[in-house]
Structure 1
Amino acid sequence: MNFVPVFFFWVLLLIGMVSRGPFIFYLLFGSMAFGSFAVIPPELTSGLSFTPPPIIALAIIVKYGGGTNGLSRMLDISLRPSQCLLLFVFWIVAVLVTLLMPRLFAGQILIIPMRLEEASFGDPLYPTQQNISQLMYLTISIVTVFACALAFRSAATRQHVLSALCVGGAVTVFTGILDLVGIGAYLDVFRTATYAYLVDVELSNVKRIVGLMPEASSFGSLAVGFLSAIYFFRRAISTPWIRLVAAPVLIVLLTLFALLSTSSSAYGGLGIFGCVAAVEWFWRLLTAPKGSRAREGLASEYWAIVSGLVAIYLLALVKPSLFDPLLELVDTIVFQKTSSDSFIERSMWTAVSLNALFDSWGLGVGMGSTRASNGVVAVFSNTGIAGGLLYYGFMLQTLLRRARPGDHTGALILNAVRFYTPPVVIVGILAGTSADFGVMNACIYALAAAVAWPGTSPMRAAASPAPARSKPATAPVSGGAARGQPSRA
C-alpha cells in the first residue's frame, strides 16, 4: 500500500524534471506539508528518512545546474561577494568542522544526540551517521540557494514561485482539515518516515492538529512559516485574484490551523508575526506612495482587525464562559510551559549544546553532533563561532539587499523578505533543533539574491526569456533567463 504514494511522487518528480514549465516549483512547495512521508523506503537507506522537499530540491539543482553553463553560473553566484560568498564560506566551515571536530574531541565533550532514542541525557561526542546526514541536508539547502538564485532571474519564474507559496499554504491547510475531521487512517499511508510520531495527542481536551507532520510543533511552525510568507509576499504577486482573494483566505486559514496545533512555538511565532505585521502596516501607511501596490488593502486590513477585536469584546461581555476553554488552553501551553517536562527537557538540550560549544573552544562539534532547542544555539554549536557569524552575516546581507531603480516588484519582494524573516527566526529560537535552515528559507534567500542580481536589469528580466540567437553578444544573459524559467512548483 505504501508503494502507491511513493510511485506517484516519483512520477510527479519526473514530470517536473522533463517539463519546461514551472511545475517543479509548485511540487516543491506543495510537498512541504508531507513532513512524515519518506519517498525512499527507509529500509533501503539504513534508516534515514528522505522527505519530499530535499529530494525535489536536488532535482532542481540538477535541472538548473546541469544545463549549458549552469554549473559555472551557480559557481559564479556562490563566489560573488555581493551574492552568496558568505553562505559558500559558511558551507566550507561546516564541512571542515563536521569532518574534523567529532574525531578531534571524541569522548571529551558531552552532547545530546540527534536521535533521541540513543540516549536520554548527555552522551560523549563521537562521529555518527547523523553527522553525514545532517551535513548532507545542509548542503542541499545551501546549493538550492545557488540553483534557485539562477532560476529566479526570470521575473516570470519569480511570479510562479510566489504563486507556489500559496499552493504550499493551501496543501498545509488541506492536510490540517483532514486531520481535524479524523481521517487519520487514510493519512497513515503517508507516514512512512522513521520518526517518533505524536499524532493522537490532546491538550486540555483539545486535539492537537498535526496534519502530515510528525508532531504538532512541526505542523504549527510550518503553518506560521507559510502564513508569514504569504502575508508579506502577496503584494508582489501580479495575478489579482491570487493577491486579493486566495492569499487573504489562506492567511485566515493558516492562522486558524496554527492555533489548532496548540504548539507553544507556533503561538510564539504568531505573536511575533502579529507585531511584525503591525510594523509593516504602519510602514506602508507612512512611506508607501499613494496609488502604489504597497498601500493596497490598508483600509480593509484596518477595519478587519478593528471589527474582529470589537466582536471578541462583545462576545466576552455577553458570554464570558465562551472563552474559558481557550483561556485554559493558552494558560497550559504558554503560562505553564516553563514548568512542563517538555520545557525542562528542551532547555537541557540547549544548555548541553551551548556547553559543547564552549568545551570545543568555539570551534563547534559538527553538523548533527548535538541537538538543541534553539536555532541560534544549534547553528553555533554545530558549526562553531566562525560558522555562526558567517551564516548570520549572510542573513543580514540578505535583509540589506536593494532592488535596481525602477524594479518596483523587486522592491516589494525584498521588503517582504525583511518582514518575513523575524517570525521565522523567532520560531527557530523557540524550537529549532538543527543548523539546517531548510528548503523554504533557501528559496527566500534565492529570491532576494535573484532580485538584486547585478548582471540583469529589471527590464531584461521582465522580457521574454527566449534566447536571442540573432544577437550572440547578448545570448548568455538571455539564455540564462530562459534557463531560469523552466518548470517549478
Structure 2
Amino acid sequence: MSWPAAVLWAMIIAAAFSRGPWLIYIMFASGAFGMLQMAPGDGGGLNVLPQAACAAVFVLKVLSQPGNIPRAVDAALDPYRIGLLTAFTLYGVIGSYCLPRLFAELAYVVPVSSDVVGGTEVLRPSKGNITQSCYLLLSYGTTLAFCIIGATKEFRRHYALANLYAGMTIIITGMMDAVLYSVGLSDLLTPFRTATYVLISEAEIEGVKRVIGLMSEASAYGGLCIGTGGALIFLLPFFHKGRESLVAAATAMLLLVMGVLSTSSGAYVGFAILCGIYGVHMLVRLASRDDREARRSRIELGLLSAAGLIVLGAFIVQPSLFDFAFDMVDKLVFQKSVTASYIERTSWTRAGWEAFLDSGTMGVGIGSIRVSNWSVSILGSTGLFGALLMFGFLVQQLVFKPRKASPEVQRYNTAVQLSLLPLLAIAQLSATMPDLGVSVAAALGVLAAPRRAREHPQQVVSDAQSERDRQVVPSQLSDRSTAFG
C-alpha cells in the first residue's frame, strides 16, 4: 500500500467517526484518484479504488444510524423511489452466477480480464462475475444511502459542495499530470498509480500531451471533468451568493477546459451535448414566470453573447488562430472511426451484442463481457428483462418530477437530472460495464430521495420535511461547515 493510500484511509476513518459531512466530501473528491490501489499488496488481483472504499464506509455509516434500516427497506421496495433498481440489482447479481453457467461455451465474448488483448473467448464463469457484481452492489448501496438521507435542504447543500470539492481535486490532479510531465518528473506520481489497470499516461495527439490527471487514460479523466463541470453549472443557483458562487463558476469553467485538454473524443461529445442542454435550459428559464430565474438567464445570455462576439471577432481578424482547434476536433471526433482504438472498441461492442442474441436475449451475466457502449453492456449482461428494469428506472428518475414537491426541490431535481445527461451520453460511447460508478449512483439517489409511494399522497416534499425524515441528517451530516465563508 502506497503512502497516498494510507493517508486516504486515515482521512476516511476519521471522517467516518465525525459528525460532519466530510465523508461525503472525501467520497466525491476521491473520484479523481482512479489509479490508486487501496488494498494491501496487489489486492489479490482486485482493484479497490478510493471512491469505492469511501462509498462502502459511507453506506455502512448511514445504515448503522438508528431507524435507517426500516427507511432503507421502505425506499428499496417503493416502486416510486428505487424499487426498479432493487429488482435490477437482484436480477443482475443472481444472473451473474446463473447465466454464465447456463450459456457456458454457447457464446463468444471479450472477457473483462485486462490481460486479454484482442479477439474473443468462449463464455465461461470467471472472477469478473464476482468483482463486477460487488461493484454493482456498492453502487446500489450508494443510491440507497443517498435516497435515505437526501430529502432535506441541508443535504442538498452538502451534495452541491461535494461536487465543488471534487471539481477542485480533479483540476489539481490534472495540472499535476500536465506540469510534471512537461518538466520530466512524472515519476513523482507513481505512488498514486498503483492499481493494475492499463495506464496510458504519455500519449500525445498533434504533439500535445493528453491530460489524464490521476486516472488510467484520457477518456476517463475527460469524462470526469465534463460530468463534474456540468453538475456544477446546473447547481450554481444553489451555492451561496458571492465568493462561493464565483468559486463554483470558476471551477466549472476550469473543469471544461481540462476536459478539452484531455483530448478525449468522448469528452468532446459530452461537452457539445452539455452546451446544447445548457442552452435549451437557459431559454426555458428565460421564458419562466419566476423573475429571479428570468433575470439570471438574461445575465447568462448577455455574458455568453459577449464571449461569442469576442471569439467571432478573433476568428474574423485572425482565422489561423483556430486551425489547431479545428484539426483536433476533426481528428478526435470526425476521424475517430478510422482509429485503431475505435475499431477495437467497436469489436468489443459487436461481440457483446452477439452474446446477447446468442443467449436468446437473456444476457450472459454481469462481469462476463467487456464492451464500449453502456446500453449494449446492460443488454449483453442482464438481457432484455434487466434492460427494461434499468431503463425504466432511469426514465422514472430523469423524466418525472417528484409529486407535490416544493418549487425549490423541483428546481434542484431538474438541475441534477440535466447534469446526468452528458454523463449518460459519454457512457454510450465508452462505458465498458453496467455499473456507472459511485457518482452517478449518488445522483440517482438524490433524485429518488424526495419521491413517495402513491399510497401516501398526503406527504408533501418540501424543505419543511417531517421530523421523521429530518432527524436522519443531523446525527450524520451536521451543517457545521461552510465553504469560503
- Tell me if both proteins adopt one fold, taking TM over 0.5 as the criterion: yes
Deviation at 1:404, TM superposition (A): 5.7
Q: Secondary structure at the match of 1:240?
A: coil
Which residue of 2 is the match for residue 470 of structure 1? none
Deviation at 1:246, TM superposition (A): 1.5
Which residue of 1 is the match for residue 359 of structure 2? 360
Equivalence map 1:365-376=2 (5 Å): 365-376=364-375
The residue identity in structure 2 corresponding to 1:274 is C
Which residue of 2 is the match for residue 263 of structure 1? 264
Could you tell me whether the CA contact under 8 Å between 1:42 and 1:49 is conserved in 2? Answer: no
Which residue of 1 is the match for residue 193 of structure 2? 191
Write out per-residue CA displacement over residues 276-309 of structure 1, whole angstroms, 9 at most, x where no aligned residue: 1111111111134113xx3353233212222222
Q: Secondary structure at the match of 1:297?
A: helix
Which residue of 2 is the match for residue 53 of structure 1? 51
Equivalence map 1:82-481=2 (5 Å): 82-182=80-180, 184-237=186-239, 239-241=240-242, 244-291=245-292, 294-295=293-294, 297-403=296-402, 405=404, 407-453=406-452, 457-461=461-465, 476-481=468-473
Report whether the alignment pairs 1:41 with 2:40: yes
Which residue of 2 is the match for residue 469 of structure 1? none
CA distance in 2, matches of 1:381, 1:17: 37
Write out per-residue CA displacement over residues 433-455 of structure 1, whole angstroms, 9 at most, x where no aligned residue: 11002111111111111233565
Uncovered stretches (5+) of structure 2, i.e. residues with no partner: 454-458
Write out per-residue CA displacement over residues 5-59 of structure 1, whole angstroms, 9 at most, x where no aligned residue: 122111101111101110101101110111111111352x221111011111111
CA distance in 2, matches of 1:37, 1:72: 35
Could you tell me whether the CA contact under 8 Å between 1:232 and 1:416 is conserved in 2? Answer: yes
Q: 1:361 to 1:459 in 2, by over 3 A?
A: same
Q: Secondary structure at the match of 2:112?
A: coil
Write out per-residue CA displacement over residues 346-379 of structure 1, whole angstroms, 9 at most, x where no aligned residue: 1111111001000001111111110111111111
Uncovered stretches (5+) of structure 1, i.e. residues with no partner: 464-473
CA distance in 2, matches of 1:410, 1:190: 39
Q: Secondary structure at the match of 2:369?
A: coil
Q: 1:119 to 1:487 in 2, by over 3 A?
A: farther
The residue identity in structure 1 corresponding to 2:186 is G
Q: 1:26 to 1:487 in 2, by over 3 A?
A: farther
CA distance in 2, matches of 1:131, 1:459: 42
Q: Secondary structure at the match of 1:106?
A: coil
Deviation at 1:241, TM superposition (A): 3.2
CA distance in 1, matches of 2:54, 2:155: 17
Could you tell me whether the CA contact under 8 Å between 1:24 and 1:60 is conserved in 2? Answer: yes
CA distance in 1, matches of 2:286, 2:338: 42
Equivalence map 1:6-25=2 (5 Å): 6-25=5-24
CA distance in 1, matches of 2:405, 2:44: 52
Write out per-residue CA displacement over residues 373-417 of structure 1, whole angstroms, 9 at most, x where no aligned residue: 111111111111111110110111112343465723211111113
The CA RMSD over aligned residues, in Å, is 2.0
Q: Secondary structure at the match of 2:115?
A: helix
Could you tell me whether the CA contact under 8 Å between 1:23 and 1:487 is conserved in 2? Answer: no
Deviation at 1:143, TM superposition (A): 1.3
**Which one is further off, 62-71 or 22-31?**
62-71
The residue identity in structure 1 corresponding to 2:269 is G
CA distance in 1, matches of 2:405, 2:364: 46
**Which one is further off, 417-426 or 479-488?**
479-488
CA distance in 2, matches of 1:91, 1:422: 22
TM-score by length of 1: 0.92
The residue identity in structure 1 corresponding to 2:383 is G
CA distance in 1, matches of 2:58, 2:233: 26
Could you tell me whether the CA contact under 8 Å between 1:154 and 1:484 is conserved in 2? Answer: no
CA distance in 2, matches of 1:163, 1:241: 15
Could you tell me whether the CA contact under 8 Å between 1:276 and 1:419 is conserved in 2? Answer: yes
Q: Secondary structure at the match of 2:287?
A: helix
Q: 1:358 to 1:191 in 2, by over 3 A?
A: same
Q: 1:235 to 1:404 in 2, by over 3 A?
A: farther
TM-score by length of 2: 0.93
- Aligned residues: percent identity? 30
